[in-house]
Chain A
């Protein structure tokens, strides 16, 4: 089973600033990597799939990059509604596995 490791565990960023979240896979997952956003008390929402493709309706300030074992989710010009927990997921190998999450909080 592929282990996904996210860093940092918590990131404090000011409104309007940029956030960079990292996700590392224990072995290559090619570009089969998704990012989800989960707000408190809500279900996860798909943000990015294929490492860099935004899901329908996701604002352009969200972008994903990387391949193989190193991936990044970048959120530019942070807005109040962006503060949440973010999870990465690999779906290259069965079973798909999630990272432990990065909590993005307001500085």
Chain B
């Protein structure tokens, strides 16, 4: 059974940093692209960042480019999102999602339950 478990969300002041983690199980982690998708309160889904199976290809939405860094440790079956210089508009539930293949644009066949990041003073 595929499981994705996010952690690391918190209440953080503007300008602060957080690292989100997503522990994956139930599939061969290195074979699949992974994504971070966020959902601001009462809003829709937005792809924030993506990484291919090997970890050598990444994508960032313009809104987070230069502030967020996605990475993965395939030996630990874990996905990360380092979030620096956080802004109020980064407040959202952050979901870890499994891509349906190792890279490229694809749909997301499994999602974690999400972790809440609140940026506020």
Chain A binding surface SS class? loop
- Kindly specify which of A17-25, A40-48, A69-77 makes contact with the partner chain: A40-48
Chain B residues with Cβ under 8 A from A44's Cβ? Answer: 45, 95, 108, 111
Closest chain B residue to A2 by CB distance?
Answer: B105
Interface bin, chain B: 20 to 34
A79 at the interface (CB under 8 A from B): no
A49 at the interface (CB under 8 A from B): yes
Total A-B residue pairs with C-beta atoms closer than 8 Å?
Answer: 57
Interface residues of A in 46-102 (CB under 8 A from B): 46, 49, 55, 87, 89, 91-101
Cross-chain contact B61 with A95 (CB below 8 angstroms):
yes
Q: Smallest Cβ distance from B33 to chain A, in angstroms?
A: 11
B104 at the interface (CB under 8 A from A): yes
A32 at the interface (CB under 8 A from B): yes
Cβ-neighbour of B111 out of A34, A43, A91, A100 (below 8 A): A43
Interface residues of B in 28-69 (CB under 8 A from A): 44-47, 50, 59, 61
Cross-chain contact A87 with B44 (CB below 8 angstroms):
yes
Interface residues of B in 89-121 (CB under 8 A from A): 95, 100, 104-114
Q: Smallest Cβ distance from A21 to chain B, in angstroms?
A: 14
Cross-chain contact B45 with A95 (CB below 8 angstroms):
no
